[in-house]
Amino acid sequence: MTNTTDALTARIAALKETIALCIGDLRYCNTSAQVRSVNAVIAARKAELAELEEKAQAQDVKKDADAHEAEQVSTCFSRGSDVLETSGVRVALPVCTDQSPESHQAVESEFITRIVTALDDAPMGTHGVYVHWFRIDYGCWLDAEEVANAGGLAEYLEESLGLSAADVAELMTRDWDCQDAEGLALRCLGNYGGFDWLKLEELLEVNVEPAVLAAGLACGLEPDAIEDAYMGEWDSDEDMAFDQWEQGGMLESIPEAARGYIDWELVARDLLIAGSVTEANGHYFHAA
């Protein structure tokens, strides 16, 4: 009884600590799905806590009753069996669930093994994000595009990596953050380990080549304006200026013999300084 009572007390204390940590973790959630997952774990832990506290109270009552009975009844246990003999009556004892610290360690070890095995098989993509879970001391690179397409990290872990809903809910309560990123995901990495999944979804929806998208963002354009603002790619500012005059019909009014006297460097400089055109990495855009 003493070992069971000690284990029950330890579990109650652990549940209270977990609930407090989960409540603290809510402020780090980046999506509504994460908030729902954490709240689901909190509710489950609170329900278990209420049940165990009721059980502990019942054990205290039973302990007092047993102490009183022990003074009146001679009791002996058959060593090596689950049988209690009291006053000549043999009664089969129920087998109690193991709640020892060793049992909890075994459950935690199995949980971590499932998580690590699934995450180790996670594919990498062009836009990667490095996620680290502090309370299991494990991190890995994930395909940020796949995570965004799944609707968030919790959904990705369950739907794409095949983890159970219970394991995902538990894992999302463990302290974690996004520590590094590559490709477009790098532009969504926030301070203090945050990551803007909605921004990544928006970037991935832009219908241009990754290099054009990166250049447009470098020019300060909004993602949804990059496609319409894109002019093209040129080797130099002068080539861009010449093509713009030619495509705009401005060269038609200038005699061909006089075109060689046009200072295309000056023309390009006027376009860029005036703010009507902006450039990054050889890609040119109409300014917003």
Q: What is the pLDDT of residue 4?
A: 64
Q: What is the pLDDT of residue 66?
A: 63
Q: How many CA atoms lie within 13 A of 180 on its CB side?
A: 5
Which is higher by pLDDT, 200 or 174? 200
Does the pLDDT value for residue 192 go beyond 50? yes
Q: What is the pLDDT of residue 22?
A: 74
When mean pLDDT is compared across 81-85, 99-103, 135-139, 163-167, the lowest value belongs to 81-85
Please state the rounded mean pLDDT for residues 253-270.
78
Highest mean pLDDT among 90-99, 222-231, 261-270: 222-231
Quote the pTM value.
0.54
Does the pLDDT value for residue 73 go beyond 70? no
Does the pLDDT value for residue 284 go beyond 90? yes
- Place 76 in a pLDDT band, splitting at 50, 70 and 90: very low
Does the pLDDT value for residue 221 go beyond 80? yes
Return the CA Rg of the chain.
Answer: 33
Give which of 186, 175, 190 is closest to 27, Cα–Cα.
175
Please state the rounded mean pLDDT for residues 257-269.
79
Q: Give the tens place of pLDDT for each residue, 239-248.
A: 888 888 887 7
When mean pLDDT is compared across 45-49, 97-101, 128-132, 186-190, the lowest value belongs to 97-101
Long-range contacts of 111-120 (CB under 8 A, 24+ apart): 111/167, 111/170, 112/136, 112/138, 114/163, 114/167, 115/163, 115/167, 115/171, 118/157, 118/161, 118/162, 118/163, 119/161
Q: What is the pLDDT of residue 77?
A: 40
Domain boundaries, the chain: 2-92, 108-204, 223-286
Q: CATH classification of 223-286 is 1.10.10, yes or no?
A: yes
Highest mean pLDDT among 128-137, 155-164, 239-248: 155-164
- Place 224 in a pLDDT band, splitting at 50, 70 and 90: confident
